[in-house]
């Protein structure tokens, strides 16, 4: 595979593991063992069984007839919104909780911004009967009260990060500090294709079930096992990585990544890292990130909490810089409009994150026979209050 990670954890010039010395042992253990464990038949059996019986996979591939008529082409939706806990995030947390068990770990930590990854982690920790601590910025705890309540109900301890901007990057620092202090018994579940090697590759592999199913479903429904185009939104990039994975080497498949344009990419209030980012180190890997001239991270902004991340996974930094993926952006308003469009045409309320992927549709010149798959990463129940504000205005 052309876009596979190398021995040291790099995709081209991006990736690696820029970690504090005190974490060296933990990361080295993961780097040495992850492939052998997750590729073993026993692990694969457990993983696939939970994906099927617990998460509800395979997720349907749905031909969106009315949406297709509107854009004069063939549009299919990969329904990750129908998974347990409402998004693709459960695919990854199931994989990592099984890995934690195989490594003999008894305590789980995670960090979360919007709370979606925190909920997915608290869910699998309950399933596995393991202690779970989720770090979350103090400001995010206030903004995301329903998800904080879910995590608590699931038995997790939610610890506030009170330093800095009191958001995701501060929660990440707290999680790393915790891991340094509990190297023996603790496993750190990262929620996207970010972080030090081997996390980006590991998370991409767990999410690759999305494109694996897509191949089979496309073959059954269209007679061809690949589409002409795949569209996915990008926060850290895990749903996109999963949707692209088995098509990365197939140049007949155009890969479109949609980032959060916020109030507009020139407004200073966006999360369009692939467009605005420059090379630097964030979350222990070298990638594109939004930073000022002094290397200080610029607070990202998006109406969608799940896309509100100042970096992007190193795989995506590589795919963008080599031209393999095409980056589009969608503003808050464009995403909300696309969310309403899908709801009214198909009766599906998408997550605001996924609505960004849908907002790419008016920006693409479709040919009538072409097949496009939009990865519908999550459902919009959590975003109703935001949608309804637009309905009133
Ligand atoms: C978290 C989230 C995202 C963004 O994360 P990626 O790692 O980029 O996939 C997108 N959609 C939904 C529904 C999410 O919860």
What are the start and end residues of each CATH 3.40.50.1100 domain in the chain?
11-50+89-203, 56-87+208-392
Cα torsion 285, 245, 207, 62: sign? positive
Q: CA nearest 119: which of 147, 160, 96? A: 147
How many angstroms separate the CA atoms of 207 and 228, rounded? 21
The predicted model scores a pTM of 0.97
Q: Is the CB of 380 under 6 A from ligand 1?
A: no
pLDDT digits (tens, 9 = 90+) for 259-300: 999 999 999 999 999 999 999 999 999 999 999 999 999 989
SS3 for 94-123, per residue? Answer: HHHHHHHHHCCCCEEEEEECCCHHHHHHHH
pLDDT digits (tens, 9 = 90+) for 354-386: 999 999 999 999 998 999 999 999 999 999 999
Q: Which residue carries 């996915």 as its tokens?
A: 232
In this structure, the residue with its CA closest to atom 4 of ligand 1 is 235
Confidence at residue 143, expressed as pLDDT on a 0 to 100 scale: 83
Confidence at residue 392, expressed as pLDDT on a 0 to 100 scale: 73
Q: Which residues are catalytic, by number?
A: 89, 111, 377
Confidence at residue 391, expressed as pLDDT on a 0 to 100 scale: 85
Task: Tell me the CA–centroid distance for residue 27 and ligand 1, in Å.
Answer: 24
The DSSP secondary-structure symbol of 313 reads -
Domain 56-87+208-392: assigned CATH number: 3.40.50.1100
Please provide the size of the chain in residues: 393
The DSSP secondary-structure symbol of 200 reads H
Probe target for ligand 1 pocket from 88, 202, 236, with the most ligand atoms within 8 Å of CB: 88
Beta strand pairing call for 14-15 and 61-63: unpaired
Q: Is the CB of 82 under 6 A from ligand 1?
A: no
How many angstroms separate the CA atoms of 176 and 278, rounded? 24
Confidence at residue 144, expressed as pLDDT on a 0 to 100 scale: 87
Residue stretches of the chain with pLDDT short of 70: 393
Strand ranges, E, within 306-376: 325-331, 371-376
Task: Tell me the CA–centroid distance for residue 301 and ligand 1, in Å.
Answer: 15
Strand ranges, E, within the chain: 10-11, 14-15, 61-63, 74-79, 107-112, 131-137, 157-161, 186-188, 229-233, 254-262, 278-282, 285-289, 325-331, 371-376
The DSSP secondary-structure symbol of 28 reads H
What is each CA distance from 364 to 17, 132, 336, 367, 369, in whole angstroms? 37, 43, 18, 10, 14
Tokens at 352, concatenated = 């605001």
Probe target for ligand 1 pocket from 77, 80, 87, 304, with the most ligand atoms within 8 Å of CB: 87
In this structure, the residue with its CA closest to atom 5 of ligand 1 is 235
CB of 254 closer than 8 Å to CB of 328: no
Q: Which residue carries 């009170």 as its tokens?
A: 162
How many angstroms separate the CA atoms of 298 and 207, rounded? 28
The DSSP secondary-structure symbol of 343 reads H
Task: Tell me the CA–centroid distance for residue 208 and ligand 1, in Å.
Answer: 14
How many angstroms separate the CA atoms of 65 and 146, rounded? 34
Q: Judge: domain 11-50+89-203, CATH 3.55.50.30.
A: no
Confidence at residue 393, expressed as pLDDT on a 0 to 100 scale: 65
């Amino acid at each position: 595979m052309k876009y596979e990670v190398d021995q040291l954890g790099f995709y081209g010039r991006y990736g690696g593991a820029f970690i504090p010395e005190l974490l060296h042992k933990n990361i080295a253990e993961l780097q040495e063992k992850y492939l052998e464990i997750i590729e073993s038949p026993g692990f694969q059996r457990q993983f696939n069984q939970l994906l099927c019986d617990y998460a509800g996979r395979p997720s349907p591939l749905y031909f969106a007839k009315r949406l297709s008529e509107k854009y004069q082409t063939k549009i299919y939706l990969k329904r990750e919104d129908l998974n347990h806990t409402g998004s693709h995030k459960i695919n990854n947390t199931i994989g990592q909780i099984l890995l934690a068990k195989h490594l003999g770990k008894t305590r789980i930590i995670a960090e979360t911004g919007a709370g979606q990854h925190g909920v997915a982690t608290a869910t699998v920790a309950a399933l596995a009967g393991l202690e779970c601590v989720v770090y979350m910025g103090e400001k995010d705890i206030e903004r995301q009260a329903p998800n904080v309540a879910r995590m608590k109900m699931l038995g997790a301890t939610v610890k506030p990060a009170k330093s800095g901007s009191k958001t995701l990057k501060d929660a990440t620092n707290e999680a790393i500090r915790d891991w340094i202090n509990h190297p023996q018994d603790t496993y750190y579940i990262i929620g996207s294709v970010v972080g030090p090697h081997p996390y980006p590759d590991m998370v991409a592999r767990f999410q690759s079930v999305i494109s694996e199913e897509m191949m089979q479903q496309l073959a059954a429904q269209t007679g061809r096992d690949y589409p002409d185009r795949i569209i996915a939104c990008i926060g850290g990039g895990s749903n996109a990585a999963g949707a692209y994975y088995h098509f990365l080497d197939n140049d007949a498949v155009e890969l479109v990544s949609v980032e959060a344009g916020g109030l507009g990419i020139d407004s200073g209030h966006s999360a369009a890292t692939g467009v605005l980012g420059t090379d630097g180190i964030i979350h222990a890997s070298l990638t594109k990130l939004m930073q000022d001239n002094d290397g200080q991270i610029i607070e990202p902004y998006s109406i969608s909490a799940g896309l509100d991340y100042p970096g992007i996974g190193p795989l995506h930094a590589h795919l963008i810089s080599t031209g393999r993926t095409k980056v589009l952006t969608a503003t808050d308003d464009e995403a909300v409009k696309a969310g309403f469009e899908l709801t009214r045409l198909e009766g599906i309320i998408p997550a605001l994150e996924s609505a960004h992927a849908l907002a790419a549709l008016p920006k693409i010149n479709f040919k009538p026979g072409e097949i496009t798959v939009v990865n519908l990463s999550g459902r919009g129940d959590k975003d109703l209050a935001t949608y309804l504000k637009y309905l009133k205005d």
